[in-house]
Amino acid sequence: MKGRKPTEPIILEKREWNPATIVLFSLMVLLAVVAVPVFGFMHGYIWLDWTMFGVLYVVRALGITVGYHRLFTHRSFECKDWIRITLLIAGGWALENTARKWCSDHARHHARADQEDDPYNAKRGFWYSHIGWVLQRTTYYSEEYTFGLLEDWTVMWQERWYVPIVLSGFALPFLVGYIHGGWIRGLGCFLLAGFGCVFLVLNSTFCINSVCHLWGAQPYTTSNSSRDCWWVSLITMGEGYHNYHHAFPRDYRNGPLRRNFDPSKWFVFGLSLVGLAWNLKRIPDWKREAARHAVLNGG
């Protein structure tokens, strides 16, 4: 892993609203909470719309959790290039910025958790950590937190083609619906499996930054505000075990126990079974238990 981790914080002199981002997210909210239900009331949604919604929700979420998060930010496993490209496309469909920018923000979050230059600092409150930080223009991005991503040809490929990738994520459900039933069905699938789906994926991801730093248990570390919140895992493909993740960020699992709901770890493990992923990072059980006992004993 290239690059170094800075030890000095960046002090942000001022925060400004980002008009472009505000317009984009306002449009997203308007389409998701107004256009989607209005179309459903007027025309209804069919099985194809809901199927595309479910499939694309899982694909987009795995693009973020498995791709952006566990693979590109924390290097929790290795995989073949075509898997990397597939995950980068799926992550782009989630409309959460390029992998380079997303990973830089998240690496800074781990290094500066709960401090002034933590991009989604939960100490600033629920709404800031959930969505407010996205709507502001800040200087959080730093190449010092990219850790070799600039030398990764797959990441830079996504960087160059990010806009077409995003647009393809909306074009796909429209084309599927159009082929099935013409313009009306294309529009319905576009609204539900496009904007409605992305809106929910965005907010489920944002819950990791907000909910999982405000409410829940801290069984593995109390050095920061991260918390385990099992129900967030149900909507984020297993990312709700956030306290464990902050304690052991290199582990490819967020939910280390067998009973933990973590589809992302099952997906990575499944890839390893067929030779498409390898070098899975896994924290030994004794080390996890030692951390838990240290917290129980006030360490």
pLDDT, one tens digit per residue, over 155-200 is 999 999 999 999 999 999 999 999 999 999 999 999 999 999 999 9
Instruction: Identify whether 45 is part of a domain.
Output: yes
Instruction: Identify whether 265 is part of a domain.
Output: no
pLDDT band, residue 15 (cuts 50/70/90)? low
Of 238, 230, 236, the C-alpha closest to 206 is: 236
Residue 104 confidence (pLDDT) above 80 = yes
How many other β-carbons are positioned within 10 Å of the β-carbon of residue 18? 15
Residue 129 confidence (pLDDT) above 80 = yes
pLDDT band, residue 13 (cuts 50/70/90)? very low
Instruction: Identify whether 108 is part of a domain.
Output: yes
Residues whose CB is less than 8 angstroms from the CB of residue 61 and which lie 6 or more positions away in sequence, other chains included: 94, 201, 204, 205, 236, 237
Instruction: Identify whether 80 is part of a domain.
Output: yes
Instruction: Identify whether 180 is part of a domain.
Output: yes
Helix pair 153-160, 99-111: axis angle to 10 deg = 120
Residues whose CB is less than 8 angstroms from the CB of residue 82 and which lie 6 or more positions away in sequence, other chains included: none
Instruction: Identify whether 255 is part of a domain.
Output: no
Instruction: Identify whether 59 is part of a domain.
Output: yes
Q: pTM of whole model > 0.85?
A: yes
Instruction: Identify whether 241 is part of a domain.
Output: no
Number of domains in the chain: 1
Q: Which domain, by its residues, includes 188?
A: 16-216
